[in-house]
Chain A
Amino acid sequence: MYMKFIISLFAAAILLAGCDNTADSNDALDPIADLTMINEAYISGTLIKVYADKQAEVGYNRYYVTLSDSLSGKSIDRARVVFKPMMDMGTMKHAAPVENPQGMQSEEGLFRGAVTYIMAGMWSMSVEFDDENGRVGSCNFMADVAATQNVKKVTGSDSLSYFITLVEPMTPRVGMNDFSICVNYKQNMMSFPEVTDVEVEIEPTMPSMGHGSPNNENPQHSGGAHYKGKVNFTMSGDWQVAVTLKRNGNILAQTAFDITL
């Protein structure tokens, strides 16, 4: 396996050398430069690699998948990639909200998706693919998910369970920050569909000081489960961002994220 990897690297090197002048620019914009490879697998002639940009934690985790022909090393740019996280709690199993790469086409050689781990602990992850060469397989690994406060499970006024996940800011700073969340609901233990039709209101406050901040922008739906807005942190210290979900003007669910900067 190691040898094959070396060979494929050589193959890749030769290929890259072959397309001379474009190589440099590809190099400069290497999309995986800041990513960590989590796992790789060879399945019936396809090499699948799974990358992440951080240690797995409760919340929104981006995954990046590359597919290539294990012999020629040639990148496979058309495929369907599906994430299947699963937590086995002994008496029961459950999945998590996922964002599978959209469409069949990779972007810059990457299939991008995300998993929202809703609980800390050991998850088994399966990344399945169905590529343009008709090869089908999966790359499986365990994710040791660290605890955070970035996912809030709230029972809505319609008695459904909603998962509200803080996506941004992950490195908050004083001033204006992008603020985004994902909203999913629990259909059953295996299905957490996106919620696309709610109005989101946010209100940042410093509970220790009893004041908030002006010029915040309520997150607007921006595709999938995502809602994007802006939050103004006027100073360092302990902040709390209250999030209210409304449907047709009626409060559906409320929660708050603690953010310290």
Chain B
Amino acid sequence: MRKIILIFISVILNSGLLYGGQTEIKGLVRDGLSHKPLQGVNIVIKEGNKGSATDDKGYFTLHLSPAAYTLVVSHIGYRTRYIRVDLQGESQQLQIDLQPAVIERQQAITVYGAQNDPLDKNRDKWLNSTDDMMRRFEGVTLMRRANFALEPSIRGLSYGQISTTIDGMKIFHACVDRMDPATSYVEVENLDRLEVSKGAYDLSQSSVGGSLNFVTRDPQSLPGWSSESETGFESASALRRLRGELSWRGRHQALRVSMSLKKADSYYAGDHTLIARSGYSKQNAAVKYMISLNDRSRLTLNYIGDFARDIGYPALLMDATRTIAHIGSIKYEWNPALRWFPKFNTRIYYNQIRHWMDDYGRDVRQREVMADMYMPMYGVATTYGAIVAATFLPGRDSFLKLTLDYYRLNSFADMKMLSIFPDISPAYIVNIADARLDNLALIADYNTGLGPRWRLRGNLRLDYARRDIYDEFGKNALRAFWQSPASAVRGLLPSGSLSLEWRANERHVLNWSLAAAQRMPSHMENYSFFIYNLLDGYFYTGNPGLKPESSLQTDLGWKYRGRSLAADFALFFNHLNNYIAGRWQSAEFKIYENFSGADLYGLEWNGAYSRGAYTLAGSLSHIRGYNRALGEPLPYIPPLAVSLSLSYTGKQWWLQFRWLHNAAQKEVAYKSTREDTTPAFSRLDLRGRYRLNGQWELKAGVENLLDSYYHEHLSINNLPSPGRNIYLGINYGWPRNP
């Protein structure tokens, strides 16, 4: 099994390998505990395109011109090692012992250990923001409410139906209008990778639609210092940004500090259309400190602070004046040094998100709803939790990860309504009446090889949820909307998934997955009060009587990895039962209710063809959603999206020309919402990077080259996307890693 994977990886690697009058490095790679040779270990030269893999006796050979190199030695189930070698014309012999490491779930769901997978979305080439990163995943679509912190949707599902975490930590929004998705707290310089699970096949998080996990960067892996800083400008919003990071690793400790400053004015949509009040300013800082307690254990302290001010939300009724996020965790990792038990870790975490918004900057007299009123709102969400995980290797080709995941969310939000006329009394409501949610989950993730071609993965998850509200004022207001006065909710939710993978040969992999998953309603769906929904113009009320939303879904995937062509194809179907949506209650109010069923189905394709320095890549995604209870399409289903790009990767230059097209979306929830159809649009982007020397690098590009005026279907209130955006960035790194 593993052999096939590794052959296939080395085929990819070897396609770029060059030979010529060069020095040889020979090496043996062994298991650090058993000292048995490891076959198929991936060896990559960090400075350049070369790589190799170990043979069945654990040996590898590389031919290199004399210079200093860093070898990146990686293998599934082992901690990656970085080895510095200085070649002075003589051949070198190396013996490398790899220590068993955590088997990250990301590796289990994507291609095994394939760090140089041409379709790996986490391979950096250009990234101006974390939003850019999310956009790379076909099937992930971003909901736009502003020019700030877009909210992801996976295969037509969003918010409570999917899970968004940072390093596995739950982070809830404080804004009742969802202005503050957790995606905004990991700035791009702090983003190591984004783990996306489309569908509920990875049950490390509770969802019926999939999950996004933002993995933050660790300090550098080599001893010593490094730093990187970048300053940039984007023309559409006159965005000025500055970011920097400093990384250090000593013998037993390591530290990484990064920060980002951004300030944007109102942006221009296409045809030079100014979108008034859409600017923002944002500061973000991240610190990660690691200390080895002994040979086998280490402690990691992590903090992210995110502070934003004066964020314009042109799509909404209000603007955010201030947001403050403090996100902290302590992680303890222990390697019991047993062949069958390589990893145990515990993370405890705490985060607090606070959010202030108001409409003091708006012309409230012209407003369709709540005219002549200012409505300052405040919200806070505090979450703390603990994740305890143990990884076992019960067999040579299998692993089992057991996780205990607990969190507690406390959330409160309120709103004042101040009339512009002095004789009208101020009004007050509590939007979230001090909701307290406890969630305890037990998760088992088992992954095993079944013979040389088959691989099986099974996930089981059991959630115990308990929640209630504690603010009496808000509770009384809510009770008037409910059938029964009870506000407490309890639930026990089992979920399970099964994936079967078949490697037909070294190029073709077929994957079939099936999941039956459930999710608790979000705290908004259970307890929110008087939340205006722009999509249908109703005030929404939470309902503690909701049943969990459940899903039965299946996914058929095909991966092809040829010498120069790579492609992924997926077909999926998702049937949701007890689908949660608003049900008409009176002329202005809707209450969350369960609907009998909704179906989503679609396909995704994504591929790349490389020839020399050129890569032609493309993607396609299409999805349909249907609410069977209401007999209409589901709202906010992204239309057919196609992209095509041509990239050139040279020694100093990297250039990309990309065409993006969205078909018109005519399937809208016309009965229950005011969702309207969206016309098709096309967009052209041109990007480039140029490396001046070892330290300096320039980035530049033009997004929406033709300055098209368009909005995406998932744009709230049809807020247009930015027009022509010329960006420029200067990056300085020391020491520069080529």
**Residues in A lying within 8 Å of B, measured CB to CB:** 173-176, 206, 208-215, 232-238, 260
Would you call B370 and A209 a contact (CB within 8 A)? yes
What are 29 pairs between A and B in contact, CB < 8 Å? A173-B476, A174-B473, A174-B476, A175-B476, A175-B480, A176-B479, A176-B480, A208-B372, A208-B427, A210-B369, A210-B371, A211-B369, A212-B586, A213-B480, A213-B586, A213-B589, A214-B481, A214-B585, A214-B586, A214-B589, A232-B480, A232-B481, A233-B480, A235-B427, A236-B425, A236-B428, A237-B424, A238-B424, A238-B425
Known: A175-B476, A208-B372, A209-B373. A235 touches B428 (CB 8 A): yes
Interchain CB contact under 8 A, B417 and A209: yes
Q: Which residue of B lies closest to A235 (CB)?
A: B429
Q: Is the CB of B429 within 8 A of A234?
A: yes
Closest 10 CB pairs of A and B: A237-B427, A175-B476, A214-B586, A176-B480, A232-B480, A235-B429, A208-B424, A214-B585, A214-B589, A236-B428
Known: A235-B428, A238-B424. A208 touches B480 (CB 8 A): no
- On whether the beta carbons of A175 and B373 are closer than 8 Å, the reply is no
Chain B residues within 8 Å of A235, by CB: 417, 427-429, 477, 530
Residues of B within 8 A of A209 (CB): 370-371, 373, 417, 427
CA distance A213 to B476 in the complex (A): 14
Give chain B's interface residues, CB within 8 Å of chain A. Answer: 369-373, 417, 419, 421, 424-429, 473, 476-481, 530, 539, 585-589
- Shortest beta-carbon distance from A192 to chain B in Å: 33
In the complex, what residues of B have CB within 8 A of residue A237's CB?
A: 417, 424-428
A236 to B589, CA, bound (A): 17
Complex: A214 Cα to B591 Cα, angstroms = 10
Q: In the complex the two chains form, what is the Cα distance from A260 to B425 in whole Å?
A: 8
**For A175, what are the chain B residues with a Cβ–Cβ distance below 8 Å?**
476-480
- Measured in the bound complex, the distance between the Cα atoms of B479 and A213 in whole Å is 13
Closest chain-A Cβ to B559's Cβ sits at a distance in Å of 52
CA–CA, A181 to B585, complex, Å?
26
**Most chain A C-beta atoms within 10 Å of own C-beta, residue among B478, B481, B539:** B481
- Chief secondary structure at chain A's binding surface: loop
Q: Which residues of B contact A174 (CB under 8 A)?
A: 429, 473, 476-477
Structural contact, A208 and B477, CB atoms closer than 8 A: no
Q: Which of A208, A212, A215, A236 contacts B588 (CB 8 A)?
A: A212
Q: Which residues of A contact B586 (CB under 8 A)?
A: 212-215
With the chains together, A238 CA to B427 CA distance in Å?
8
Write the nearest CB–CB distance from B588 to chain A, whole angstroms: 5
Give the docked Cα–Cα distance between A215 and B372 (Å): 26
Question: When the two chains form the complex, which single residue of A173, A206, A212, A232 contacts B427, counting CB atoms closer than 8 Å?
Answer: A206
Point out the residues of chain A lying under 8 angstroms from B419, CB to CB.
Answer: 208
- Quick one: closest A residue to B368, CB to CB? A210
| Bound complex: CA A63 to CA B295 (Å) | 86
Contacts known (A234-B530, A235-B428); A208 close to B421, Cβ less than 8 A: yes
B430–chain A nearest beta-carbon distance, Å: 9
Contact call B370/A210, Cβ cutoff below 8 A: yes
Chain B residues closer than 8 Å to A215, beta-carbon distance: 480-481, 585-586
- Closest CB in chain A relative to B525 CB, distance in Å: 18
Given A206-B427, A238-B424, is A212 in contact with B587 using a C-beta cutoff of 8 Å?
yes
Q: How far is the CA of A236 from the CA of B539 in the complex (A)?
A: 16
Which chain A residues border B480 with CB–CB below 8 Å? Answer: 175-176, 213, 215, 232-234
In the docked arrangement, what's the CA distance between A234 and B430, Å? 10
Tell me, rounded to whole Å, the shortest Cβ–Cβ distance linking B576 to chain A: 27
Residues of chain A lying within 8 A (CB to CB) of residue B427:
206, 208-209, 235-238
Nearest neighbor of B375 in chain A, beta-carbon distance: A209
Least CB distance from B589 to A in Å reads 5
Q: Complex: how many Å from CA A212 to CA B481?
A: 13
Q: Please give, as numbers and ranges, the residues of chain A lying within 8 Å of B479 by CB-CB distance.
A: 175-176
Q: In the bound complex, how far is the Cα of B428 from the Cα of A235, in angstroms?
A: 6
Q: Which residues of A contact B476 (CB under 8 A)?
A: 173-176
